[in-house]
Amino acid sequence: MMRNVFCALVLWSCIMHSASAQTVVNVPDGRVSAREWLMLTGRNSAIAANDTLNERIVDLVQVAVADSVIRKKKQHHRVFLVGWLIHAFGGYNWRALSTTKRKFVGTVHRNSRSSDEHFTEYDINYDIYFLLPHYQRLTFAAYDRQRELKRQDYRRSHRRDYGVEPFVRDTLNFDWMKYRLHCELTPPRPFRAALDAGFYPTLPGQSLGEHWSIGTDKPTIGVYGLWCLDCNHSCHPELHPYEWIWWLRANGGDTTTTKTWMVGLFHESSNRMPDWSTAPVQGRISIPFAIRAADVRKGESSVLIEHLVHSGFGPGLPQWPADGCTAVSAKADEQVIRLTTSTGTMDLKVRLNHPIRSDAYSLSVSDLVLDKATGTLCGRLNLAVSATEVYTTRITFKGS
């Protein structure tokens, strides 16, 4: 009997050790460089009411993919020999504006999605405009290149007048709604229905405002991918494909301060961009957070990472720099990070809805600082993943 009890206690100890872990980190006093970082402690309704602020916050996110540098500057349709012929002899193709993939953050003007698959294409599209000057300048350059090429769409209704804005402009007085970027992706076919229910709208029906993950028809989003011109249609500017997409879930009816981020990493699953989006898709993303230190001390704050729709994992992750990062176990349900500060210690809990026991997934925290003037703990949660096709997650910072 005693032996059975002893064995049970040993087994329970092993289970508890595997389910949780603790890490100790020294957190310096200091100030964050971006005022927007501290705005993460504000109400979501206030952020939703200010598109410029929303874009500045979403722009704090840092992203990358392993194949961020491309070697082929053009891609084309691959419908038997037709795609190659119209590319080689007609110039119908996509042309890279940069050989390095780029991040853009803007506000959605319109969105669309395919109702049926056309050959291998089933596009989830967002047209975004920009309130932040550095993205506006990039868009100016794209439209200038389109004007230089002067390639017209075969459809008369889509012809361009290169003598008017956005092809000529007064940079001190311009209509930013005319400088939109078309962002396009075909997500993998086996996951489209699951993505519609569990991440973002992919099927006909729900608007962005009706979908639980967004809650507004004009959200601010971040996208990362290949910046190009679509010379199948007048060489208009595109991000095609976008591989990372993320947004802060903020709408006018949400007066809470809990911050929820939606994050997705995708492989372009049509056959159009084999050299611009490779599988497995390997990426990393760094999410900013700001939590009131008093909430951490009282045990009322936590970080929750919920794996949503995803394919398989692997192979292992590339050796990305990890200087200044403190690893967080993704193989445990919960980990406590003990933060040692000038005012004492406090515990920050990081929880997962289920562990990922794979070397193709990693978590860490970095850039931790205690802003004593405002009593705010700031930092970054870093996620790296190698997914066969797709990985999506919801990350919630409670106690913000």
Contact criterion met (CB below 8 Å) for 347 and 363: no
CA-nearest of 65, 61, 87 to 76 is 87
**Cα–Cα distance for residue pair 265/276, rounded to 1 Å:** 14
Mean pLDDT, range 335-354, rounded to an integer:
93
Residue 5's CB is within 10 A of a number of other CB atoms, namely 9
**Cα–Cα distance for residue pair 152/144, rounded to 1 Å:** 15
Query: What pLDDT does residue 13 have?
Result: 36
Is there a domain that residue 138 lies in? yes
Q: Which residue has the higher pLDDT, 26 or 18?
A: 26
In the chain, what is the greatest distance between 2 CA atoms, to the nearest angstrom?
90
Chain segment 128-153, per-residue pLDDT in tens: 999 999 999 999 999 999 999 998 87
Highest mean pLDDT among 110-124, 133-147, 308-322: 133-147
Chain segment 284-301, per-residue pLDDT in tens: 999 999 999 998 888 888
Query: What pLDDT does residue 282 have?
Result: 97
Is there a domain that residue 332 lies in? yes
Stretch (H or E) spanning 87:
helix 82-90
Question: Burial, 326: exposed, middle or buried (Cβ in 10 Å; 0-12, 13-18, 19+)?
Answer: middle
Is there a domain that residue 5 lies in? no
Q: Which residue has the higher pLDDT, 11 or 185?
A: 185
Is there a domain that residue 237 lies in? yes
Q: How far is CA 232 from the centre of its chain?
A: 27
pLDDT at 238 over 70: yes
CA distances from 264 to 54, 166, 320, 384 (A): 19, 31, 20, 12
Chain segment 354-365, per-residue pLDDT in tens: 999 999 999 999
DSSP state of 165: T
Is there a domain that residue 7 lies in? no
pLDDT at 8 over 80: no
Residue 341, amino acid: T
CA-nearest of 23, 28, 116 to 335 is 23
pLDDT band at 21 (very low <50, low <70, confident <90, very high): low
DSSP β-ladder status, 236-248 and 181-185: parallel
Q: Which residue has the higher pLDDT, 10 or 60?
A: 60
Domain total for the chain? 1
Chain segment 174-200, per-residue pLDDT in tens: 999 999 999 999 999 999 999 999 999
pLDDT band at 103 (very low <50, low <70, confident <90, very high): very high
Is there a domain that residue 15 lies in? no
pLDDT at 12 over 80: no
pLDDT above 70 as % of the chain: 94
Query: What pLDDT does residue 119 have?
Result: 82
pLDDT at 115 over 90: no
Is there a domain that residue 52 lies in? yes
Query: What pLDDT does residue 9 have?
Result: 33
**Cα–Cα distance for residue pair 348/291, rounded to 1 Å:** 10
Tokens describing residue 273: 């961009």
Supply the pTM of this predicted model: 0.92
pLDDT above 90 as % of the chain: 76
Q: Which residue has the higher pLDDT, 384 or 252?
A: 384
| Pick from 160-164, 300-304, 319-323, 329-333: least confident | 319-323
| Domain extent at residue 167 | 20-398
Query: What pLDDT does residue 2 have?
Result: 35
Is there a domain that residue 8 lies in? no
